[in-house]
Chains A and B, each alone.
Chain A
Amino acid sequence: MSTTTQVRPTGGPLLQQFEYGLDAPICLTWELTYACNLECAHCLSSSGRRDPRELTTAQCEAIIDELQRMQVFYVNIGGGEPTIRPDFWHLLEYAVAHQVGVKFSTNGVRITKDRARFLASTDYVDVQVSLDGATAAVNDYVRGPGSFDTALRALRNLRDASFQEAKISVVVTRQNVDQLDEFKALAGEFGATLRLTRLRPSGRGADVWDELHPLPEQQRQLYDWLRAHGEDVLTGDSFFHLSGFGGSLPGLNLCGAGRVVCLIDPIGDVYACPFAIHDNFLAGNVLRDDGFATVWRDSELFAELRSPQTGGACAKCQFFDSCRGGCMAAKFFTGLPLDGPDPECVQGYGESALAAANIRPEAGRNHSKTAATRNEPVMLTLRRREDLQAPPVSACAQSPLAGFTPDTR
């Protein structure tokens, strides 16, 4: 590695310091397994099947030791469904004992009453239960049949065990953006905190992006809602593309990929961000490249991401300073240039860029199940054609009044 010839400025705004990267990540996501009991239509890691090369317990412990040395204060553990790993609870205790706090995301399948009590008795553990609809109909449409009940059972168990401050983690979609108040009420009911994050066209999300991503007027609706309720709702700082509406949202309005953010995947591959599981964003591997710290410090990809970005066409926009060009992964997986606008650019530049015939990149790693199971969501809804008042008239209908609808006015 030799590309880090950029000289970091001293002083200046913190945002600029972040652009040059930190000595260790502050938002490290670690997907423990690609195995999952669900098959969510928009899974950002295309999870389903366990990878046979999955890191062993000892290898995971070695990573935790390294994170402790690097003073990574907490990790966001996900998957797949991380609690499916038989050593999950052991690794959780191991991390906490080594001053690495754990936030883990789960669909709730293993959060039994016993586990909820265990979690309530453990410090430095945060639990995020994923829920993508405030009603079973909206949630199960993308997460699969029964997944709403599973999540609510987990939340109930956590509440009954007096677990403090569970999070309800919602990916905002076209279908659930009208339910934000209902999500808030649901969080209140379970003594939980609501966390909203942005849908990305990553993993299987690329396949359903066109159908699920919020429409332009819904982006505005979301922005207004966040401005009104932002104080007690977490966002993972993921909606900074909405800052282009004029007023910044709380948090870090910057793409942190490779600078303050990164992902360790179940086989130890290190990617620039959890939404970029693709060869183009692969920085190295903790086993092959002599540990995570080496990859974080010395990867050529990360050096490149930490050098000042030009902003390309966006640099001319008056809102560039607020949105910084938006989300790298969202651009990449919709076939847009990385120095161009975000596909959901609220100033409308994304739509024109998308219209300019882009070729979407091939999918990255795919651990989706190879055959459908009973948990697979079927993104179809049964409806009637609203213009039909009566059964269709067949060709052999003999009644002289067939097909006649009396005018009742």
Chain B
Amino acid sequence: MSTEHLGAPFAQRPALGERWGLSPAVALRPESFGALAYHFGNRRLTFLKNPRLASLVQQLSKQPDVGTALAQAQVPNTQWPAYLEALAGLAEGDMIRPLDPDRTDQGVEL
């Protein structure tokens, strides 16, 4: 059922200085534990297991780079590696993508 997916890996890992955002084919659904992210293209369903990660992912594209987004989401510095790891997992499923750093108007809506 729900967790069925067979997707292709996406190579790049997010780095602090890069600007990232939700893939155009991804929709986020808020849930009390965090959020569900669904990729309409590769049919992957991913669980964002805490509300802070969910708001981080939602805000990613609105910040100039990943580091700023982490700070904005009030992620304690000690937890940055864990959050970066979580973002890398999302990048692997094409849930988030690197964005052009110079453009701030890139839409992430479906």
Interface residues of A (CB under 8 A from B): 8, 10-11, 14, 17, 22-24, 26-27, 71, 73-74, 76, 99, 101, 123-124, 126, 165, 193, 195, 232, 234-238, 250-252, 256, 260-261
Contact = CB atoms under 8 A, between A and B. Distances in A.
Nearest to A8: B32
Contacts of B43: 74, 101, 126
Interface in B1-41: 1-4, 6, 27, 29-33, 36, 38, 40-41
B2 A234 contact: no
Given A8-B32, A17-B33, A73 B6 contact: no
B2 A123 contact: no
Contact of A27 (B2, B47, B50): B2
20 contacts: A10-B33, A14-B33, A17-B31, A23-B30, A26-B45, A71-B36, A73-B45, A99-B27, A99-B40, A123-B40, A123-B41, A195-B4, A237-B1, A250-B3, A251-B4, A252-B1, A256-B1, A256-B2, A260-B2, A261-B2
B47 A14 contact: yes
B31 A234 contact: no
B1 A193 contact: no
Given A73-B40, A123-B41, A252-B3, 14 more contacts: A10-B33, A71-B29, A73-B29, A73-B36, A123-B40, A124-B40, A234-B6, A235-B4, A236-B1, A237-B2, A238-B1, A251-B1, A251-B3, A260-B1
Interface of B: 1-4, 6, 27, 29-33, 36, 38, 40-41, 43, 45, 47, 49-50, 110
The 6 closest A-B pairs by CB, nearest first: A27-B1, A73-B38, A71-B29, A26-B2, A17-B33, A27-B2
A17 B32 contact: yes
A262 to B, nearest CB: 11
B6 A26 contact: no
B2 A252 contact: yes
A6 B36 CA distance: 22
A71 B27 contact: yes
A154 B27 CA distance: 32
A17 B33 CA distance: 7
Contacts, number: 70
Contact of B6 (A27, A74, A193, A256): A193
A146 B73 CA distance: 60
Instruction: Specify the main secondary structure of chain A where it touches its partner.
Output: loop
Contacts of B31: 17, 22-23
B4 A236 contact: yes
Contact of A11 (B2, B40, B50): B50
Contacts of B2: 26-27, 237, 252, 256, 260-261
Nearest to B36: A26
Nearest to B5: A234
Contacts of B6: 165, 193, 232, 234
A156 B15 CA distance: 45
Contacts of B27: 71, 73, 99
A17 to B, nearest CB: 4
Contact of A234 (B4, B40, B41, B50): B4
Contacts of B1: 26-27, 76, 236-238, 251-252, 256, 260-261
Nearest to A11: B50
Nearest to A167: B4
Contacts of A99: 27, 40, 110
Nearest to A103: B43
Contacts of B110: 99
Contacts of A252: 1-3
A208 B97 CA distance: 50
A232 B7 CA distance: 10
B39 to A, nearest CB: 9
A27 B45 CA distance: 11
Contacts of A8: 32
B32 A23 contact: yes
Contacts of A123: 40-41
Contacts of B45: 26, 73
Nearest to A233: B6
A67 B1 CA distance: 17
B49 to A, nearest CB: 6
Given A11-B50, A17-B32, A99-B27, A237 B40 contact: no
Nearest to A22: B31
Nearest to A260: B2
A215 to B, nearest CB: 25
A238 B1 CA distance: 8
A277 to B, nearest CB: 17
A343 to B, nearest CB: 21
Nearest to A20: B32
Contacts of A256: 1-2
B98 to A, nearest CB: 23
